[in-house]
Amino acid sequence: MSKTKPKLRGAEIFVRALADEGVRHLFGYPGGAVLHIYDELFKQDKIEHILVRHEQGATHAADGYARATGKPGCVLVTSGPGVTNAITGIATAYMDSIPLVVFSGQVATHLIGNDAFQEVDAVGISRPCVKHNFLVKDVRDLASTIKKAFYVAASGRPGPVLVDIPKDVTADVCEYEYPEQVEMRSYRPVVKGHPGQIKRAASTLLSAKKPMIYSGGGVILGEADAELTEMTRLLGYPVTNTLMGLGAYPGTDRQFIGMLGMHGTYEANMAMHHCDVLLAVGARFDDRVTGDLEKFCPYAKIIHIDVDPSSISKNVPVDIPIVGDVKSVLTDLLAQLKNHKQKPDQAALEAWWEQIREWQGIDCLRYDRKSKLIKPQYVLEKLYELTGGDAFITSDVGQHQMWAAQYYKFNKPRRWINSGGLGTMGFGMPAALGVKTAFPDETVACITGEASLVMCIQELSTALQYNLPVKIIMLNNRYMGMVRQWQEFFYDKRYSHSYMEALPDFVKLAESFGHVGVRIEQAADVESALQEALDMKDRLVLMDFVTDQTENVYPMIAAGKGHNEMHLPSERELA
Amino acid sequence: MRHILSLLVENEAGALSRIAGLFSARAFNIESLTVAPTEDDSVSRMTIVTVGSEEIVEQITKQLNKLVDVIKVVDLSESSHIERELMLIKVNAKGPAREEIKRLTDIFRGRIIDVTENTYTIEITGDGDKLDAFIQALDARLIIEVVRTGVSGIARGDKAIRA
């Protein structure tokens, strides 16, 4: 006779299921609809709950955690405003294909649709920015829905999943059993690439005269950096990474020719324009990468590997599409390349590299290194040197983000954490807290601007409560720098509402939150100030670098231009 | 080009809004959309008529397939198929027009399914062109109400779409 299992309340099932799923950290904020769950969290110690100060911070922190670890980030918020505050963070994760599982409280099932207190249609409001979402109407579906949510979030092309749980479901009881695995007839991600297509890709790659490898965030998400690196070295071809793909190939390797796109390097963009075979891996041909589609890679045969069929030929028609998990496809492709009779045309390759070295000679990332004013690029170069390129770097959105991508060389994946797709200001600091939660012993720095930082400044409080001593490197130019740059270039210097008036005293602000604040005004002080901050291992340091106000991000491809139409810094601007 | 997409989807709350939302969010066209459960009540069958270039319809198909609730997507217009639409139409049927409408209904193989002193309600099935032609054939001033279901489609021959 089998013993009947004890019956548990939904809230207890929730906590047990998370623990059984291996969740260690949960970022959240309590409220009426999730009080049963919070009561259960109080009674256990398997899952650490990190109380944020605003639900947007919870989603960004969980997002940073997921990007750094590769495991789904986990969020718990209440109904109504709890969910709506979380939406920006969910959309951020969605655009960058980051696995998140967001649990939202909901009003009791009998009240749904009644405009009850703190009721919002969470499933409806999140639908366009989640990979999938669920409303759990019966406690007997709770455990299996949680299992499905984690499975969907982390498999295939990852993404955020929202699970909406009405309050009465967390009070109802049933037997608990966490499913070992899930089977969904309507959701079966493709893993293996088509062997015939992979064979065609190998032949095409090996017959290239001017090859180019363009890899994106998918290589990092798919844990395929080792395969990408091995293949690239085997072929001896040049490689560029997208903003989301930095670190997938070692940034200091001589075959790496920098980031591509709007603020990519001259050599990467010129090589894109002139290449005859382009291998795109886990990249989605975003408009910031391609520039004008009419002018994109005019001479190239394009091979595209992606786990998401809808990414293929969405913006740019592709000659050899390969749908599959990048790690699996690259492994198969590597085997094909190794066993192939044909070898890369060394003479052609040498001529191609010579051309690329010539483009590199332009030194497109040069700036005035002798300036007395603090150049933002200089701060990032110094940070790179002092951390040996080994820190986790999160960033906000704008000029500082581009400079960080250009001047910090990432040799490892998952070290560069930024909101590439949605471009969410306010992302950087809470994301850094998420990374630090996962890796308490690592150096975690947030590169930000004075406009971005204040968008989620309240999370300084979370940092103190949970002892998350990240370094905040704020490049303060008293402008929304990227907006100002566009207004300078395209709006005849009419700086409409891009000037940050009435800024706080950031040193005092940091101190009032219980942290260390430092203001740096001289270029000569940059290095020592950074070193001091890095040495304060157990303190959060907010560094207010007062930078050159009018510095612009170069190189730049203006909207509607092609890769071969870059705007380089003029000598006057460098003087 | 006009395409008829036939979908099998999980018969769950929200599946319809996911699909409708996808079309509006990505600026795809919907000419018509019909949906109802199949013999297996966990599965709904949906027919969507859309218009777009080959590239756009390919993208629509891929995006639909990506939705977790969608089990299968088939473009019926790629091969031989049958499409039908049902129309209910209420018309003023007084005086000499009353007999004329009756004759017209017979010609189009429709049926009068409700009668009052002043009106007929007519049921008629066929492809969209046939229903359009029937409306054209009527005196526009006589039409009180038109209800069309949108297209349902099925492949000809042995082919079938199953979960």
**Residue percentage of chain A with pLDDT more than 90:** 95
* Integer Cα distance of A130 and A157 in angstroms: 12
Q: Which tokens hold the place of B162?
A: 């199953």
In tens, the pLDDT along A471-486 reads: 999 999 999 999 999 9
Q: What is the pLDDT of residue A125?
A: 97
Which of these, A444, A452, A450, A451, lies nearest to A471 by C-alpha position?
Answer: A444
Per annotation, catalytic residue among A118, A255, A355, A458: A118
Which amino acid is residue B147, in one-letter code?
Answer: V
Which amino acid is residue A229, in one-letter code?
Answer: T
Q: Do A309 and B55 touch (CB under 8 A)?
A: no
Q: Is B124 exposed, middle or buried (0-12, 13-18, 19+ CB in 10 A)?
A: buried
Tokens 């066209």 sit on residue: B29
Query: Is residue B46 within 8 Å of B56, Cβ to Cβ?
Result: no
DSSP A32: G
Q: Do B59 and A310 touch (CB under 8 A)?
A: yes
Nearest to A310 among B14, B62, B71 (CB): B62
Q: Which tokens hold the place of A550?
A: 């009018």
Residues 114..133 of B with a Cβ closer than 8 Å to A: which? none
A64: number of Cβ within 10 Å: 31
Task: State the ipTM, two decimals.
Answer: 0.91
Q: Do B21 and A185 touch (CB under 8 A)?
A: no
CA A122 to chain B, closest CA, distance in angstroms equals: 12
**Residue in A138, A152, A284, A310 to test binding to B, most B beta-carbons within 10 Å:** A310
Q: Do B10 and A152 touch (CB under 8 A)?
A: no
Query: Is residue B114 within 8 Å of B120, Cβ to Cβ?
Result: yes
* Integer Cα distance of A263 and A266 in angstroms: 9
Query: Is residue A256 within 8 Å of A233, Cβ to Cβ?
Result: no
Three-state secondary structure call for residue A442: coil
Nearest to B68 among A132, A308, A312 (CB): A132
* Integer Cα distance of A50 and A164 in angstroms: 20
* Integer Cα distance of B75 and B57 in angstroms: 9
Query: Is residue A411 within 8 Å of A359, Cβ to Cβ?
Result: no
* Integer Cα distance of A369 and A373 in angstroms: 10
The answer to whether B63 contacts chain A (CB < 8 Å) is yes
Chain B residues in contact with A313 by the CB 8 A cut-off are 55, 58-59
- The CA-based diameter of chain A, rounded to the nearest angstrom, is 87
A181 as an active site residue: the answer is no
A482 as an active site residue: the answer is yes
The answer to whether A132 contacts chain B (CB < 8 Å) is yes
Query: Is residue A180 within 8 Å of A51, Cβ to Cβ?
Result: no
Q: Do A186 and B70 touch (CB under 8 A)?
A: yes
Phi-psi region of B157 (alpha: psi -120 to 50; beta: other; left: phi over 0): left
Nearest to B18 among A127, A135, A312 (CB): A127
The answer to whether B66 contacts chain A (CB < 8 Å) is yes
Phi, psi dihedral angles at A182 (to 5 degrees): -125, 150
Could you read off the pLDDT tens digit of each residue along chain A, which spans 575 residues?
A: 556 789 999 999 999 999 999 999 999 999 999 999 999 999 999 999 999 999 999 999 999 999 999 999 999 999 999 999 999 999 999 999 999 999 999 999 999 999 999 999 999 999 999 999 999 999 999 999 999 999 999 999 999 999 999 999 999 999 999 999 999 999 999 899 999 999 999 999 999 999 999 999 999 999 999 999 999 999 999 999 999 999 999 999 999 999 999 999 999 999 999 999 999 999 999 999 998 999 999 999 999 999 999 999 999 999 999 999 999 999 999 999 999 999 999 999 999 999 999 999 999 999 998 899 999 999 999 999 999 999 999 999 999 999 999 999 999 999 999 999 999 999 999 999 999 999 999 999 999 999 999 999 999 999 999 999 999 999 999 999 999 999 999 999 999 999 988 999 999 999 999 999 999 999 999 999 999 999 999 999 999 999 999 999 999 998 889 999 998 887 555 54
CA B95 to chain A, closest CA, distance in angstroms equals: 50
Estimate to the nearest angstrom the gap between the alpha carbon of A255 and the chain centroid. Answer: 24
CA A128 to chain B, closest CA, distance in angstroms equals: 7
* Integer Cα distance of A534 and A445 in angstroms: 9
Helix (H) or strand (E) holding B10: strand B2-10
A118 as an active site residue: the answer is yes
